[in-house]
Amino acid sequence: TGSLQGKRAFVTAAGQGIGRATALAFAAEAALVTATDIDGEKLASLSAHGISTRQLDVLDPHAVEDALRESGSPDLLFNCAGVVHSGSVLDAWDDDFDFAVALNVKAMARTIRAALPAMLERQDGCIINMASVVSSLKGAPNRFVYGVTKAAVIGLTKSVAADFVASGIRCNAICPGTVDSPSLQGRMQAAGDYEAARAAFVARQPMGRLGTPEEIASLAVHLAGAKFTTGQVHVIDGGWSM
């Protein structure tokens, strides 16, 4: 038995990083987990943990509806898919901006629209959205599009929470600082001098280290069971924004 015994959980972007760690943490608490990712191959090793896997691009409206329905209507939805765009307002315009809004914001609304009707029927549902401290909470250099979209995730979260608070639905946002995930590794490698890039990311964390995907996953497990909190931003950032 676990704290999520019998709960159906649905996770986007579960192929690696925070999404993967969270799918595993939900399963460890005995939830019935459907792990999805645009890259189906990254999901393969999750099957050994009793997790159902399914290739899913959250930008595809019909695929999202089919996936939510066929996974048996989740009690717990973790919206983790997101993209980091690097640059200031001078470096990003229509294409990059539109893509980030579509993936980081609109796709979350899409999965919520697909998951909510069944949650409302049961008068019970928990939605967790991946935002960031780089949002309305904090500006970071070269994260213009990213910060705009993650601020929107906070607005989206509060809006959904307000509309459905009396119907048994909770909707919360997680705001991490810098987490050592495969895509962060990619950004550090792309910077040219890997060690210098890593040192710079670590330096902005007052705790002197990066977060781990498992630490973020444990907050998601906590929120799944925290029945008296909704519409809130839950910061987990090693003190970056304190």
* 169-176/125-130 β-pairing: parallel
Least CB distance to ligand NAD at residue 9 (A): 16
- In the residue annotation, 194 being an active-site residue is answered as no
Least CB distance to ligand NAD at residue 101 (A): 13
The Cα-based distances of 15 to 40, 41, 43, 118, 144 in angstroms read 7, 8, 5, 26, 26
3-class secondary-structure state, position 201: helix
When the beta carbons of 167 and 218 are compared against ligand NAD, the nearer one is 218
When the beta carbons of 6 and 26 are compared against ligand NAD, the nearer one is 26
When the beta carbons of 66 and 124 are compared against ligand NAD, the nearer one is 66
Asked if residue 162 lies in contact with residue 119, where contact means CB atoms within 8 angstroms, the answer is no
The Cα-based distances of 40 to 25, 43, 112 in angstroms read 20, 5, 22
Least CB distance to ligand NAD at residue 1 (A): 28
Which residues of the chain form contacts with ligand NAD (CB under 6 A)?
A: 12-13, 15-19, 37-39, 42, 56-59, 80-82, 84, 103, 130, 132, 176, 178-179, 181-184, 213
When the beta carbons of 13 and 23 are compared against ligand NAD, the nearer one is 13
> Catalytic one among 146, 164, 201, 240?
146
Q: Using CA atoms in the order 193, 195, 199, 200, what is the torsion angle rounded to 10 degrees?
A: 10
Least CB distance to ligand NAD at residue 31 (A): 19
Residue 55 forms beta bridges with which residues? Answer: 37
3-class secondary-structure state, position 184: helix
Catalytic residues: 146
